[in-house]
Structure 1
């Protein structure tokens, strides 16, 4: 019989009925009716072509055919349990692999991971720089952070943000724009410098090279410390940072815990 055709549910019912020698008590264990147990046993007998139980004046008895296979069946169930425990072992792992844009990692992610690790010293993080969403299977990722309008093909949760802000050094003069890929079009002014990402745009602004319009999430720490100042109000943006993962990773307990901590 092919593995895909194994009557596993019927075998589970058979195991319970064989332990109790009672369809009623097996039904109680499995949270079904005695009639459902009897139906499963009859279907299993039809599939296997053997009789598994006989009713006698003393009650239910196993046939020799049933006894011959019962030990191997129970050994198989124990191996199934071991396999499940092995597959679930990663749930208790303290190692998490995260992919995120370089500037977000430097400006926002690493300080938060440091605070999370301080509360749980056993945690270990592997950080991968990725401006584009990478292959979760190939990179063995647990979680990724992406910039966009949504989680795309994965499960996801948005990081709260005030949108885009324009920043400059406190003593900066002039309105030269600092350009970076993905920056909103400047309203007037000339780009004095072009940089690779929003994090470098913030650093360029702090150095007095002009004004940069960047995600508030990235600029928040430098604004709080006075390294840069905000010019005007924040502007809502359709784009934002998203915590994303395929559904199997998203369901993992350690990933859900990390998402909750990062989203605070």
Structure 2
């Protein structure tokens, strides 16, 4: 018999009926009617090709065929319960694997994960750089951050405004600093760097002005390390995304709530 065809409902009814030797009491435990228990037993007998119970003058009696597999059946149920508990334990674990662009982690996510981590000493994070693509299956990810126009096929919520800000030092050069993804590209930049985070750092140093996502620059602007020279709305923004199974995890829901509050 293939495992995928095991009549699990009928076997559960058999276990209960064998313990009580009563369809009525088994029905009470299983929250069904005695007639439903009888139907499950008859179906199971048809599938297995054996008689499981007989009615005698003393009441319901388990046949030798029915008794033969009970010990193994009950061990199997206990193992399934252990498997469910193991899966639930993993579901409630405090370890989260998060993929995000390097500059986003450095300029925004890292500080917030540190703050969130202080709420629970058992929390642990594995951070994966998503600059070169995203694969939830291979990386075993719980959550990812993407800079995109919409969440796409996954579940997700936007974070931060869909806007870019131009930042620099008060006495720094006014020439642009280029980086892959800057809006419209930069003609004749004074320098080109690998990402928006490095562009912000170069702008703070006075090398030039960087046009970057507002979310990445807000901490440096608030601290006075950078000066704003204008903003512009764009079609893309940062999203927290995950496939439905990951998105439904309690640990992911809690993290998303912390990051979006």
Q: TM-score, normalised by structure 2?
A: 0.91
1:135-190 CA-to-partner distances (Å, cap 9, x unmatched) read 2332232222111122333322221325222222233453x222211111269x74
Q: Secondary structure at the match of 1:119?
A: coil
Q: Assess if the C-alpha contact under 8 Å between 2:162 and 2:235 holds in 1.
A: no
Aligned counterpart in structure 2 of residue 215 of structure 1, from 213, 216, 226: 213
Q: Match for residue 244 of structure 2? A: 247
Q: Distance between the aligned counterparts of 2:216 and 2:60, measured in 1?
A: 71
Matches within 5 A, 1:1-264: 1-161=1-161, 163-172=163-172, 174=174, 176-185=175-184, 190-232=188-230, 234-264=231-261
Q: Distance between the aligned counterparts of 1:100 and 1:92, measured in 2?
A: 23
Q: Distance between the aligned counterparts of 1:62 and 1:110, measured in 2?
A: 63
Q: Assess if the C-alpha contact under 8 Å between 1:133 and 1:144 holds in 2.
A: no
Runs of 4+ in 1 over 4 A off after TM superposition: none
Q: Runs of 5+ in structure 1 lacking a partner?
A: none
Q: Distance between the aligned counterparts of 2:173 and 2:4, measured in 1?
A: 73
Q: Runs of 5+ in structure 2 lacking a partner?
A: none
1:18-66 CA-to-partner distances (Å, cap 9, x unmatched) read 2222223322322222222221111101001111122233332212211
Q: Taking structure 1 as reference, are residues 185 and 101 closer, same or farther at Cα in structure 2, changes over 3 Å only?
A: same
Q: Secondary structure at the match of 1:17?
A: helix
Q: TM-score, normalised by structure 1?
A: 0.90
Q: Distance between the aligned counterparts of 1:235 and 1:31, measured in 2?
A: 61
Q: Distance between the aligned counterparts of 2:20 and 2:246, measured in 1?
A: 39
Over the residues paired in the alignment, what is the CA RMSD in angstroms? 2.0
Q: Distance between the aligned counterparts of 1:7 and 1:259, measured in 2?
A: 40
Q: Secondary structure at the match of 1:244?
A: strand
Q: How many residue pairs align between the two structures?
A: 261
1:224-244 CA-to-partner distances (Å, cap 9, x unmatched) read 001112223x43332111222
Q: Taking structure 1 as reference, are residues 52 and 23 closer, same or farther at Cα in structure 2, changes over 3 Å only?
A: same
